[in-house]
Amino acid sequence: MFSLPCATQPSAAAAAVQPIEVRLQLQRGGFALDVDLQLPGRGTTALFGPSGCGKTTCLRAVAGLERAPLGHVHVNGETWQRDGFNKSEGPAVWRPPHERALGYVFQDSQLFEHLDVRGNIAYGLRRTPSDRRSVVVEQVIDLLGIGPLLDRRPATLSGGERQRVAIARALATSPRLLLMDEPLAALDAQRKAEVLPYLEQLQRTLDIAIIYVSHAVDEVTRLADYLVLMNTGSVKACGPTDALMARLDLPLSQGDNAATVITGSVLHHDAMDHITTVGFSGGQLLLVSPAPPALDQCVKLRVPARDVSLALSPLQATSILNVLPATVVDMREDSPGQWMVALQAADTRLLARVTQRSAQALQLRPGLSVFAQVKGIAIVN
């Protein structure tokens, strides 16, 4: 196995987290990238949008794999690029990729086929001087569940296993910033479901900033704390994921995949019924959870808008487990014959997708008090 000293606890000054600043302008044929972002220095930020919108180009420029003629990249107190925006900021700065404290995980794992898993991880470890190593490799191996794979060659691994090894290799460099370029896009649904829990575990355990590129809504809602919505090379909106998911003026709230994200804490688990109770600012939600979660564990719940129904009074003798008092705050026609309704339940925003006939029958309008009904089997953890 690997042996590294545990990272020391940061001082109060070192613990202060600085935002990640990214300003980039570049032209490539008919495509132009123009972004100006200030991202959280901790947690997971997702760059989200359709293929060809500039997500990967932005990520490669942050990594130094592509140099924007006009660029400013500032991470954790260090300037990685300063080119052309304002000469009063100081002289030009360019750090090549190997001088940037980052890890990069590609869509294709790009493992070294002639090395076993142990050798691939050791390669990442050798990239970082011993005095700058802050990640305990044994912990990463355990978190990613790849201990049994250490002596195997990449050709013998499944797609999900290869990606977990690629993530471990990137983390072995003790990066200040982990860049992930659609790491699950090449996996089938089963392998993707296999890897996602490991990514969530890393997110909860390691104190590191992650920029995650994806065009998959389910990945974004499960992993991202902060969301950057991109299209045609520019930023259309950015902010906390739960807030952007519920905005009716953004495409995320449109169509059959529209959903809201609720962050809560596990209050109780009934092992007999496999029902978990999660508390949040708007009350409590009951959902099916075959594996008992830890009490007080922070969880993210995805509530699809199509699975939220509305009533003017709470129903009696119903199979629906969750009935939340809420207020209609906004409405927008989603498609012919269907409306998207934004609701406020205490400090939490919900979406409900209803037919036009139902909206008319209930006389839905902003300010109306309603009851939002959500099936326990519809909530995704």
User: What is the enclosing helix (H) or strand (E) of 189?
Assistant: helix 189-205
Give residue-wise pLDDT tens across range 64-121: 999 999 999 999 889 999 998 776 677 899 999 999 999 999 988 899 999 999 999 9
**Distance from C-alpha of 159 to C-alpha of 174, rounded to nearest angstrom:** 24
- Residue 290's pLDDT is what? 84
Average the pLDDT over 10-21 and give the result.
63
Strand pairing report for 93-94 and 78-83: antiparallel
Q: What is the pTM of this model?
A: 0.89
Average the pLDDT over 13-24 and give the result.
78
Give residue-wise pLDDT tens across range 274-294: 999 999 998 999 999 888 888
> 170: which 2 tokens?
């990137």
User: What is the enclosing helix (H) or strand (E) of 141?
Assistant: helix 137-144
- Residue 56's pLDDT is what? 95
Q: Which of 45, 180, 160 is nearest to 103 (CA)?
A: 180
More confident of the two residues 238 and 10? 238
Give residue-wise pLDDT tens across range 336-373: 999 999 999 999 999 999 999 999 999 999 999 999 99
Average the pLDDT over 292-299 and give the result.
88
Average pLDDT, the chain: 90
> Which residues are paired to 323 by β-bridges?
373
Average the pLDDT over 296-306 and give the result.
92
> Which residues are paired to 115 by β-bridges?
none
Domains identified in the chain and CATH numbers? 12-245 (3.40.50.300), 259-378 (2.40.50.100)
Q: What is the share, in percent, of the chain residues with pLDDT greater than 90?
A: 74
pLDDT band at 16; cut points 50, 70, 90: low
**Distance from C-alpha of 276 to C-alpha of 82, rounded to nearest angstrom:** 50
